[in-house]
Amino acid sequence: MELYTDEYFMKKAINQADIAIESGEVPVGAIIVCNNQIIAKASNQTEMLNDVTAHAEMIAITAAANYLGSKYLHNCELYVTLEPCPMCAGALRWSQIGRVVYGAADDKNGFMKYGKEMLHPKTKTAFGLLHVECATMMKEFFSKKR
């Protein structure tokens, strides 16, 4: 596998989703990359923290901002296994992140239901990267819950 490709970074996000599964969390993993360097990584922690806002994206945004010493993530890219929800899209908008790449679509709760306009106008998007792997994690997780 080539280093520093979208696929490489999405696989790192999938590793974070695996951590979420091990903790009994919904399997969503996120990483934030700046200049081909991972500066933040996170998995869902809503159950562990008893906090509905503790989505992987929110935790990663905070970690990246702390790392950079800036609330803006202009030159950064988020790789996340599931399409962000509207709450996370709002945080991504305020952070002015440069690019969002997600694996599996979330037709029920994803921000694209409301349109790309939820993100900052300069934010680029890409989706469907390793979507089979990302969607399978979600389906298997919820099939075990039911």
Residue 57 is a catalytic residue: yes
Residue 81 has pLDDT above 60, yes or no: yes
Tell me the pairing of strands 29-34 and 37-43.
Answer: antiparallel
Q: Of these residues, 2, 22, 47, 57, which one is catalytic?
A: 57
pTM over 0.85: yes
Q: What is the pLDDT of residues 28-53, one digit of tens each?
A: 999 999 999 999 999 999 999 999 99
Residue with tokens 């680029």: 124
Please compute Rg for the chain using Cα positions: 14
